[in-house]
Structure 1
């Protein structure tokens, strides 16, 4: 296994399906913030449609991978954010929370089998209200955007600080 050297933040979804684009919007906000307040060296910001192979390629070799994705829940609470840190036990159980047919759960399981998981995987799943065609977030999901972006940035800073101490 190669040395884990970087932090990967991946926004998953489709920016043209309203709330399904939340991951893409978070990544864009982090890019904007990085212009004023640089992220730690080796931090990559990427977007992905949820294809398992592409997700694995984006987080392979990462000390920390943070994935932001829209989710469906019943009962629904649009804008509610779930933070899930996947440990060895959870990594062996694919999740069906993604709003995509194939995606994060399958990528995690495939990466586990192939030995290509990141050192740590933190998922932010945001319950959406509208995944119909069109751009822009629903009001409930838009209201979650600023605190969600701040939370992802804090994950990055905590990893940087842990790496500096380690």
Structure 2
């Protein structure tokens, strides 16, 4: 069984389908920020097209996996962010769906069956407005990229601090 010592932050989507690229944009922002404020050792920043096998490969063996993905919601509010967590086989289910044919839910269920879930999974699902072919995010989605990147950094710090307290106690 792999040791759970890493943190993976995964931006899911397609950067050539406008708002579907929000996960990639957040990863790009985190890479920029890491130049000035390095992330904890063992933190991996990755992008993925949403293929369940690739997602599982990226988060397998991690203590914490943070996934940022575009979502469709009805009615939609472009730029609204939903935070979902998975701990001990409990997944909060949103009223959103991935913007991909196979969604994150399928990857989670497959990972559960295979025993390859991360120790903790946090998903940030961002409601989008435009998934047409092209680059660039809509204004509402672009506006959440920087605060969401900061929120992901905070998520990592909280995890690192909780892990350190666990080692002390």
Per-residue CA deviation, residues 35-62 of structure 1 (Å, 9 max, x unaligned), is 1000000000000000000000000000
Q: CA deviation at 1:90?
A: 1.9
Unaligned runs of 5+ in 2: none
Looking at structure 2, the residues matched to 131 and 94 of structure 1 have their Cα atoms a distance apart, in angstroms, of 20
Higher strand share: 2
Unaligned runs of 5+ in 1: none
1:1-166 correspondence runs (5 A):
1-87=1-87, 88-90=89-91, 97-166=97-166
Q: CA deviation at 1:94?
A: 10
Q: CA deviation at 1:96?
A: 6.5
Contact 1:56 1:117 in 2 (8 A): yes
Looking at structure 1, the residues matched to 90 and 63 of structure 2 have their Cα atoms a distance apart, in angstroms, of 18
Q: CA deviation at 1:103?
A: 2.7
Q: CA deviation at 1:2?
A: 2.2
Number of aligned residue pairs: give it.
165
Q: Which runs of 4+ in 1 moved over 6 A?
A: 93-96
Return closer, same or farther for 1:89/1:95 CA change in 2, 3 Å cut-off.
farther
TM-score with structure 2 length normalisation?
0.93
What SS does the aligned partner of 1:106 have? helix
Contact 2:22 2:70 in 1 (8 A): yes
